[in-house]
A and B are shown apart, each in its own frame.
Chain A
Amino acid sequence: MRTIFMTVAMVAAAAVAGCGGGGGTVDKYDARAVDAGIIDATTPSDDASCFTNPTTHNEIINACTDAQPVAKDPTLPLLLDDGGLPPLPQ
Chain B
Amino acid sequence: MRTSLIAAAIATAIAIPSAARAANCESDLTNPVYLQIGDTQQPLIKVLGRALRDNTPHPITLVYVTAGSCTNINALLNGTAITTTMSYVPSSVENPTWKASDPPLSCTPGVGHVPDIANSNVFVSACTQDPLPNTITQVRGPVQAYVMAVPEASTETAMTVEEAYFVFGFGALGMVTPWNDESQMFIRAVTRSTLLSWAYNVGVPAAKWKGTVPGTPGADKSTDVVNALKNSPAPAKAIGILGAEVYDQNRATLNVLAFRSFGQYSAYYPDSDAAKLDKANVRDGHYTVWSPTVYLYPVAAGTTTPVLADAKYVVDLIADRAVSPAPNFDPTDSVVSVGLVPDCAMKVTREFEGGNLATYAPAEPCGCYFDSKVATTTCAVCDTNTPCAAGVCRHGYCEAN
Contacts and interface: CB of A to CB of B under 8 A. Distances in A.
Interface of A: 20, 22, 29-30, 32, 49-50, 54-55, 57-58, 60-63, 65-72, 74-79, 85, 88-89
20 contacts: A58-B263, A60-B348, A60-B358, A61-B263, A61-B286, A61-B357, A62-B263, A63-B284, A67-B268, A67-B286, A68-B258, A70-B158, A70-B258, A74-B162, A76-B166, A76-B175, A78-B170, A78-B175, A88-B170, A89-B173
Interface of B: 157-160, 162-163, 165-166, 169-170, 173-177, 203-205, 208, 258, 260-261, 263-269, 272-274, 280-281, 284-286, 288, 348, 356-359
A32 B203 contact: no
Contacts of B272: 65-68
A65 B278 CA distance: 14
A22 B157 CA distance: 13
A62 B262 CA distance: 11
Given A63-B285, A69-B267, A88-B169, 17 more contacts: A50-B265, A54-B285, A61-B264, A62-B265, A65-B280, A65-B286, A69-B265, A70-B158, A70-B258, A70-B266, A71-B266, A71-B267, A74-B160, A78-B175, A79-B162, A88-B208, A89-B173
Contact of B265 (A32, A54, A67, A85): A32
Given A77-B175, A78-B170, A70 B265 contact: no
Nearest to B165: A85
What are the 3 A-B residue pairs with the smallest beta carbon separation, nearest first?
A: A69-B266, A57-B356, A70-B258
A67 B281 contact: yes
Contacts of B170: 78, 88-89
A44 B76 CA distance: 48
B130 to A, nearest CB: 26
Contacts of A65: 268, 272, 280-281, 284, 286
Nearest to B161: A85
Contacts of A71: 158, 266-267
Contacts of A76: 162-163, 166, 175-176
A76 B167 CA distance: 10
B13 to A, nearest CB: 54
Nearest to B348: A60
B275 to A, nearest CB: 9
Contact of B160 (A30, A32, A72): A72
Contact of A70 (B157, B169, B261, B285): B157
Contacts of A29: 264-266
Contacts of A30: 265-266
A71 B157 CA distance: 9
Contacts of A63: 284-286
A88 B204 contact: yes
